[in-house]
Structure 1
Amino acid sequence: MLTQRCNSYYLREEDGLYTSSSLIPLIYSGLLEQSPWQQLLVTLREVMASDVAAITLRTGSQHLSPMIIWDREQPLTQNQISQAQADHARLLGDDPLNQLLRQSGDIFILEEVIERDALEASDFYQCLMKPYGIEHQIGMCFAEPSGWVCTIGLMRGGERSAFNSTDKEILLELLPHLEKSLAVLARLKHSEVECSVFEQALDKLGLGVILLDRHAEVVDCNEVAKNMLRKHESLTILNNRLFSQRDKEALDKSIQEAIAASDSHPAIPYIQPVRLSAGFEELGLLIRSIDTALYQSDKSPKVIVYLSNPMRDNVLSTQLIRCLFGLTDTEAHVVMLLCNGFTLSEVALKLDVAENTARVYSKRIFAKLGVGRQVELVRMVLGSVALLA
């Protein structure tokens, strides 16, 4: 049996259940959209002959507001959207369906959970349903193991019929796909946070990172690397490739060798340092192959290029040094200056004290930290987590 819901979408009955070839692919492709499942909601609203379709996403944290993605047949003005969002946040606890949608697979029709007279007397109906012409609702909950929970809702105006058991069956058929898709979304967002944390650590250490594919084209580049490239004429990105006018042959050779090492079966580790000179400033490069055995494509990263500037100042936090090593504010300031390459006489000038006073501070610091020379002090501090502050 075929049931037509709109001009171009059909639901067919198979073994007593309804399926939709139009909806399931959109559940998974929706993970790549800026607002997840936006196109799914458009299609689902049309297939289910509804006026509004919405997904409310909660990440499991009580401190974060839920993310609401929706589609309406009749778009709202920005003022209406703002008012609806404010009213929804205020009256969420009074939503008859929301109170019951707690576990994955919970599904209810509005008329099943509240009498019509009680509904029309509620603030939820008066503020969030009636003003927007909503009379009928159906809602379903889907979740994933790490704690992310979504509710999907469909709404119809009074000129349409109420939702029924057939509509429930359609949503329940989508349930396993929605659960899997939500689990993938949670994992993707978790990975994005991890990548952001690692990238921030590299930024703090002053390491530039550039990823190249098998064609030696730039796949990605962190902010530190971009800043270094802006300041150093010895290296630049030209036509989406790393280019060095003075050392082009050596740079290209190292990159091609790294690509070949990554393409080997099994992959061969390749590490090659390259130093580019630009006046009084030097830029250090470390070219390294990436083992991509489980991820092979023309655009997959094959080579990682680390950039560092040996001449840059190490930016340290005085407060962090004080806490890490049990120093006074002045002693921590002296340590910071010494680690940034200042001599004792220059430290004295910075602190506006006699050089002998600066020497007394340094001896006191050496005693507290158990070191005997400035080089040992610098090694200790730069080997700690102070650089990550």
Structure 2
Amino acid sequence: MALASGTETDLLLPLFGAMRENPRFATFLERLRRRTEARYVALLVRQGESQDAATQTYFAGEDLHRRAQDAGIPDLFALDRAHYDSLRPGRVYAISELIDHDPLARSQRRQQMAALGLADERIVRVLAERDFNVWLVLARGAPCRAADSALLSSLAPYIAEALRTIRALDHEARQAAISLTGLARAGNGWMAFERDARLAAIGPQAAQWWEAQGHPPPRPGERLLGLPRAAERTLLAAAEAMTDDPALPPRPMLLSEEPRVEALLLPLESHGANERPLTMALFTLPRTASPEARERLQTIHALPRREAELALRLAEGLTIAEAAEAMGLTVETARNYSKRIYAKLGVSGKAQLVRLVLQGTAGMN
């Protein structure tokens, strides 16, 4: 059954805009509920292959789950997993069909539905994939009509495609969030530039650091203000070359003279017909010790508090005498501490100590 143009506008547009809503699918489900004059409409979404994979419910209308709980009635839609998994995708069922073989269960379900003011219900399996299964449920206070079942059947492929798209975008957003968190925790900043060296995007930590140096706020679509003159020329030449030839090797540049920060320019290939290739600048932000750095050293290496503090001071570049003065210790006490630190960490000198501290969790933000 083809969807009428009014249905496309009324239902499909909010369906494809569902990912921007919170809760998702709220507008689509509410319009579907009104269109079918239902008391309750829901999407049941199960992600994962395990037997205990949870099912997430998005619904519009009366909260039948809470009403059933308050009335001491089992959740009408909490059927055995085997019932739901047995449904053929795209076909509309009366839920009573799933328990036809059990007259007692069928009778009890009718009584429970009547107690909740329901007369009839329909369900269609929208998606049936290995680790992604979705059902659309409708419950009415009057018998369901043929038009209701036809509408559910017609909507099923659109809902399936919308859910696949949303799931893919969610996965990409999660991967991007993980990558950005990893870069930030490791003390790395990044910027991406168009072919003409205009800023395309910038990481939040990089933007904060850039402004903290007294430069104008970096804005996508504009040139990065505050770059040394030589860096401007290097960036423009690299951006032009790398967007034309993504196979070019990375190229270093001096991003900031004071504090001194070097960046590595590397090409970013486009992954779609409408995406433009970009040039990325990746750099290590000037580090300050995290407030949790000492506790992390204590936890990982079983160091006493004062020894962990001294290890951090040395890793920051202080001499034994400077660290002793900063901590209120005698130089002799600081030396004794440092000997114990070297022995416990298995390092033979300050250089190895600095490397161990900075490459471990204490060196992360």
Normalised-by-shorter TM-score class: 0.7 to 0.9
Structure 2 residue aligned with 1:371 = 347
Query: How many Å separate the matches in 1 of 2:208 and 2:52?
Result: 36
Residue among 124, 129, 134 paired with 1:150 = 134
Q: CA deviation at 1:238?
A: 4.8
Q: CA deviation at 1:356?
A: 0.8
Q: CA deviation at 1:102?
A: 2.6
Structure 2 residue aligned with 1:192 = 173
Q: Structure 1 residue 284 and structure 2 residue 272: aligned?
A: no
Q: CA deviation at 1:231?
A: 0.8
| TM-score, normalised via structure 1 length | 0.71
Encode CA deviations 1:288-322: one digit per residue, 9 max, x unaligned: 23332433536x46122334443x32326223323
Query: How many Å separate the matches in 2 of 1:186 and 1:360?
Result: 57
- Structure-to-structure mapping, 1:1-389, within 5 angstroms: 8-9=6-7, 30-31=18-19, 35-38=23-26, 40-41=28-29, 44-45=32-33, 48=36, 50=38, 52-60=40-48, 67-71=56-60, 86-87=66-67, 94-99=74-79, 102-103=84-85, 105=88, 107-112=92-97, 113=99, 118-119=108-109, 121-122=111-112, 126=115, 129-130=116-117, 134-143=118-127, 145=129, 147-158=131-142, 161-164=143-146, 167-168=148-149, 171-172=152-153, 174-175=155-156, 178-214=159-195, 216-234=197-215, 236-238=217-219, 240-245=221-226, 247=228, 249-265=229-245, 267-277=247-257, 281-282=258-259, 284-297=261-274, 300=276, 302-310=278-286, 312-315=287-290, 317-388=293-364
Other structure's SS at 1:241 match: coil
Structure 2 residue aligned with 1:77 = none
Counterpart residue type for residue 303 of structure 1: T
Count the aligned residue pairs. 353
Query: How many Å separate the matches in 1 of 2:72 and 2:95?
Result: 15
Structure 2 residue aligned with 1:14 = none
Counterpart residue type for residue 371 of structure 1: V
State the percentage of identical aligned residues: 19
**RMSD across aligned C-alpha pairs, in angstroms?**
4.1
Q: Which moved more, 1:41-50 or 1:228-237?
A: 41-50
- 1:193–1:376 distance in 2 versus 1, CA, 3 Å: same
Encode CA deviations 1:107-142: one digit per residue, 9 max, x unaligned: 5314545888634642x653xx43xxx433212334
Other structure's SS at 2:268 match: coil
Counterpart residue type for residue 263 of structure 1: T
Q: CA deviation at 1:228?
A: 0.5
Encode CA deviations 1:217-242: one digit per residue, 9 max, x unaligned: 44433221132123111463157424
Query: How many Å separate the matches in 2 of 1:121 and 1:143?
Result: 30
Contact 1:201/1:388 (8 A) holds in 2: no
Query: How many Å separate the matches in 2 of 1:89 and 1:304?
Result: 55
Query: How many Å separate the matches in 2 of 1:144 and 1:360?
Result: 67
Other structure's SS at 2:259 match: strand
Counterpart residue type for residue 259 of structure 1: A
The unaligned stretches of length 5 or more in structure 1 are 10-19, 73-80
Q: CA deviation at 1:378?
A: 0.0
